[in-house]
Amino acid sequence: MNQMVNSTSIKTRLLLVIVAALVGMLAVSTFALMSEKSTMLDDRKVKTRHLVEAAYGVLVHYYDLQKTGALSEEAAKDAAIKDIKAMRYGQNDYFWLNDFTAPIPRMVMHPTVSALDGKILDSEKFNCATSLQAGLDGTVEKTDGKKNLFVAFNEVANKAGSGFVTYNWPKPKAGGGTTDELYSKLSYVKKFDGWNWLIGSGIYIDDVESIFWQRATWLITIVLFVAVLIGSLMLVLTRSITAISERLGKSNAELEEANQRLQKLDQMKSDFLSSVSHELRTPLTSIRGFSQLIDREFTRSFAPLAEEDAGLQKKSVRIQENLKIILKESERLTRLINDVLDLAKIEAGHTNWHDAPLQAAVLIKDAAGAAHGMFEQKPAIELRLEIEEGLPLFIGDADRMQQVLVNLINNAVKFTDQGMVTVKVFLNPEAQIQIEVRDSGIGFPQEEAEAIFDKFQQAKQGDTLQDRPKGTGLGLAICREIVNRHGGRIWAQSQPGKGSVFSLILPPAAESLVKTVEITARIAAFADGERTAAGAISGKVGKPKVLVVDDDLAVCNYFSQLLQEQGYEVITAPDGQAALVAARSHQPDLITMDLSMPVMDGRTAISLLRADTELKRIPIMVISAIPGWEAAGGDVAMSKPLDETRFVENIHLLLNDAAASGAAEPKKVHFLVLYQEGQPPAMVPGGFAAYCEVGFCPVNELSARIQAGFQGMVAIPADLLNQVDIGFINATPSLEVMIMPVPAMGVAASLIQVTQHPQETKQGEHL
């Protein structure tokens, strides 16, 4: 169906092209013919003039002979007349001579109408319409009345010595004599002063036209021939193109079918992998769990019994060792299953990527923190970070990029026994973010540098795997998939015994995103301004109280310790319900909230806290192991494992907010997001939560809000920009307006800062 439509449309298009080409050719040839016609006439005019000049030379020649006395005047004139009478050119063209006598000239010689020779040319039949051009450049003067054409010749010759005259004259007949009817003729005449004669010659315009038409016929024939040729070629081409496109359509359909089959297979592969993974996990759980239980019970109850007998003790140690092997191997199998599933998911495109603007430096610090345990096990290795300042952001999934970096660092540690692991980030000459993980380990031959990124490939030494494989053999394949998905590239360089370098490059984020981050900073600065103004009034007394909500006792203790070091008073609650009770009784300045908890989860607790008029002002920091950006209704979201520095920074930030809230003035930037009524708001200021109190407002209510005294920031999605009456905002003298483009969450928007001057507000009161 589809390819039929395609081939018909190709045919129509080709036919259109053919028609257009023919029309074009016709237009071009018509234009060429028109210009050819006028050039032909011009050419003939020039030729005639040259011929007249030549015949004039004959007159001069005999006149000179007369002057030298070689010929008498009579003889010279006769010779000249005889010579000129004999001169013919073209189809019907000749020269004539007439006397220059006034007022009416007398014919000296006319080669085709000899009856006129010696006659005064005063016959009325010579009165006709003429057009005169004196000289070569003289203007053309037309006489439509009855003018004696020989008088007209005289006029032209008198003015400039020579010139062109158009008039009507009979044509000479083939057998002698002249035709009865008159033809339009263009003649050139020139005055010869020696004998006071006028010599002239002309061309019949229809002669020129007939030549023109002869040529035109030729041209048209050729054009038509070429057109027919091209047309038929095009038709042949159309046929073959149609055939080709039909064939293409067919193979397209086949490809489509093959693609669908492949997709089905892919789906089957994914389903297969996920069910295999499930089926493998259950027996693995038993193997791992029971070997652990056996180990525990054996160590607890049986090993002490064996202590008395040396032989039994040896056996008991062996049993324990063997159990450890089962445990280790089941752990390895688990990792392998996880990696296979992970890679299959990425390859099948089933991964949910949580893209956000990221700082390479932060990621590297986080990854180094996560790999900390590895370095503790190998104290002979030192970790060094070389981080360039002021690198651009890039867009990516923080958890996935973290996975890549942790994997690279782990690999480096795995294959290094002593020395240094260096993680470096810098902007390379191509302005891309480049991260290098360098180690001083065993390295591998450079020929294997590509293959190690393939599945189940680890660098070999000789033909045997050196030692036993340390890992699942999928880590680097996963890394490559992740880096590729971020539009980057990963590669390795190494030499056996000289260590290796794993490098990856990532394209920096687009300018617009950098803008978003700038905007966040601007909003923060705006909020800071208000805060310091308000903070000055509200000097708060006593230690700030923080309520830590987490079901994990260890986490609670850890947070409490961190916060107490910062000089905060800490209360803890193990679940959402306990948190609500504690919040009411202690009125904390800040709450940190875990999301998944028994009795009442964090999400529910936050919505209940926000619904409570007394408690809704307490800032909430969500700390969750659940990946993703969402704050679940809190002000700031942080993920586990926790970055201590950022945790403390955010706590400070949120507490400053809260300190300002003691004053009557608002502590956050009021942030209005405009939307079209009936449509959901296009922009959600995700990263702005710490600074903004976000409200949503239909676009047509903006004026009312501003008149009601709204101050703060207005975010306008780009598609609404035209509908916002910025003119109105400007027209009010009391308002300071700043407009800035904001791309937020992928939607280009504008940010308007609305500030009201106090004195102008007074003016408003007058109104």
Partner 1 sequence: MTEIAKIAIVDDEVHIRALLEQTLEDLDGEPEILTAANGAEGLALIERERPQLVFLDVMMPLMNGYEVCAAVRSNPDLAATTIVMLTAKGQEADRTRGLETGAHHFVTKPFDPDEILDLAREILQAS
Residue ranges binding partner 1 (CB under 8 A): 274, 277-278, 281-290, 292-293, 330, 334, 338, 341, 352, 551-553, 574-575, 595-599, 601, 603, 626-627
Residue 513, Cα to own-chain centre: how many angstroms?
A: 16
514 with 392: CB under 8 angstroms?
A: yes
Residue closer to partner 1 by CB (options 26, 626) is 626
Nearer to partner 1, 159 or 485 (CB): 485
- Distance separating alpha carbons of residues 383 and 413, to the nearest angstrom: 9
3-state secondary structure 396-458: EEHHHHHHHHHHHHHHHHHCCCCEEEEEEEEECCCCCEEEEEEECCCCCCHHHCCHHHCCCCC
CB of 335 to partner 1, least distance (A): 11
Q: Supply the minimum distance, in Å, between the C-beta of residue 696 and partner 1.
A: 25
In angstroms, what is the minimal distance from the CB of 333 to partner 1? Answer: 9
Minimum distance of partner 1 from residue 683's CB (angstroms): 24
Of 599 and 738, which CB lies nearer to partner 1 in the complex structure?
599
- CB of 281 or CB of 378, closer to partner 1: 281
Distances (CA, A) of 75 to 67, 78, 81, 82, 628: 12, 5, 10, 10, 122
Cα separation of 690 and 528, whole Å?
11
Q: In angstroms, what is the minimal distance from the CB of 279 to partner 1? A: 8
CB distance 695 to 668 below 8 Å: no
Helix crossing, 644-661 with 511-537: angle to 10°? 50
> CB of 552: closest distance to partner 1 in angstroms?
7
**Shorter beta-carbon distance to partner 1: residue 294 or 697:** 294
Residue written as tokens 């592969």?
A: 269
Task: State both tokens at 163.
Answer: 């010139």
**Nearer Cβ to partner 1 (337/682):** 337
Residue 640, number of CB atoms within 10 A of its CB: 14
Rounded to the nearest whole angstrom, what is the least distance from the CB of residue 292 to partner 1 in the complex? 5
CB-nearer residue toward partner 1: 330 or 516: 330
DSSP assignment of 540-560: --SPPEEEEE-S-HHHHHHHH
Nearer to partner 1, 505 or 597 (CB): 597
Task: DSSP for 190-238, please give it.
Answer: EEETTTTEEEEEEEEHHHHHHHHHHHHHHHHHHHHHHHHHHHHHHHHHH
Nearest-angstrom CA–CA distance, 183 and 168: 5
**Please, what sign has the CA dihedral across residues 464, 470, 471, 476?**
negative
Reading phi first (left if > 0) and then psi (alpha if -120 to 50, else beta), residue 13 is in alpha
Nearer to partner 1, 352 or 722 (CB): 352
**Cα gap 485→400, rounded to integer Å:** 10
Q: List the strands of the sheet with 735-744, edge to edge.
A: 692-698, 669-675, 712-717, 747-756, 735-744
Identity of residue 693: E
The distance of closest approach from Cβ of residue 532 to partner 1 in the complex, given in angstroms and rounded to an integer, is: 40
The DSSP call for residue 464 is: B
Q: How far is the CB of 502 from partner 1 (least distance, A)?
A: 27
Strand partners for 735: 756
Q: Which is nearer to partner 1, 353 or 375 (CB)?
A: 353
Residue closer to partner 1 (CB basis): 397 or 635:
397
> 310-347 and 475-485 helices cross at what angle (nearest 10)?
20
Tell me how far apart the alpha carbons of residues 646 and 561 are, in angstroms, rounded to a whole number: 16
| Shortest distance, position 277 Cβ to partner 1, whole Å | 7
CB of 540 to partner 1, least distance (A): 33
Report the residue number, 551 or 657, with the smaller CB distance to partner 1.
551
- For helices 475-485 and 398-414, the axis angle rounded to 10 degrees is 140
**Distance from C-alpha of 497 to C-alpha of 416, rounded to nearest angstrom:** 10
Instruction: Supply the minimum distance, in Å, between the C-beta of residue 628 and partner 1.
Output: 8
The nearer residue to partner 1, 294 or 648, going by C-beta atoms, is 294
- Other C-beta atoms closer than 10 Å to the C-beta of 478 total 23
Burial (0-12, 13-18, 19+ Cβ within 10 Å), 460: middle
**Pick 332 or 617: Cβ nearer partner 1:** 332
| Shortest separation between residue 345's beta carbon and partner 1, angstroms | 8
Residues 760, 765: Cα–Cα separation, whole Å: 9
Give the nearest distance from C-beta 280 to partner 1 in angstroms.
9
